[in-house]
Amino acid sequence: MWKQNLAGLLAAFMFGAAGALADSTVPRSWDDITEQAKGQTVYFHAWGGEPRINSYIQWAAGELDKIYGVTVEHVKVAETANVVTQIIAEKSAGRDTNGSVDLVWINGENFNTLKSLRLLAEPGWAQTLPNWQYVDVEGKPTVIKDFTIPTDGQESPWGMAQLVFMHDTRRLPQPPASLSELAEYLAENPGRFSYPQPPEFFGTTFLKQALITLIDDPSKLDRPVNSATFEQDVKPLFDFLDELHPTLWRGGQAFPRNAAHMRQLLGDGEIDIAFSFNPADASSAIENGELPDTVRSFVLRGGTIGNTHFVAIPYNSSAKEGAMLLANFLLSPLAQARKQDPKIWGDPTVLDIAALPAEDRARFDELDLGIATLSPEDLGATLPEPHPTWVSELEKAWAARYGGS
- Vertex 208: Cα angle to 204 and 214 (nearest 5): 140
Exposure string over 165-185, b if 16+ CB within 10 A, otherwise e = bbbbeeebeebbeebeebbeb
Q: Coil, helix or strand for 11?
A: helix
Average pLDDT across the chain, whole number: 91
Residue 27 has pLDDT above 60, yes or no: no
Range in 15-29, 33-47, 140-154, 357-371 with the lowest mean pLDDT: 15-29
Can you tell me the mean pLDDT for 84-89? 97
Q: What is the pLDDT of residues 93-107, one digit of tens each?
A: 999 999 999 999 999
Residue 36 has pLDDT above 80, yes or no: yes
- SS3 letters across 27-96: CCCHHHHHHHHCCCEEEEEEECCCHHHHHHHHHHHHHHHHHHCCEEEEEEECCHHHHHHHHHHHHHCCCC
Tell me which H or E stretch contains 271: none
Q: Coil, helix or strand for 135?
A: strand
Q: What is the pLDDT of residues 259-303, one digit of tens each?
A: 999 999 999 999 999 999 989 999 989 988 999 999 999 999 999
How much of the chain, in percent, has pLDDT values that exceed 90? 81
**pLDDT higher for 103 or 2?**
103
Can you tell me the mean pLDDT for 184-200? 97
Domains of the chain: 30-159+309-371 (3.40.190.10), 164-306+384-402 (3.40.190.10)
Residue 54 phi, psi dihedral angles, 5° rounding: -60, -40
pLDDT, position 266: 98
Q: What is the pLDDT of residues 315-349, one digit of tens each?
A: 999 999 999 999 999 999 999 999 999 889 989 99
Q: Is 93 left (phi over 0), alpha (psi -120 to 50) or beta?
A: alpha
Can you tell me the mean pLDDT for 347-358? 93
Q: Is 346 left (phi over 0), alpha (psi -120 to 50) or beta?
A: left
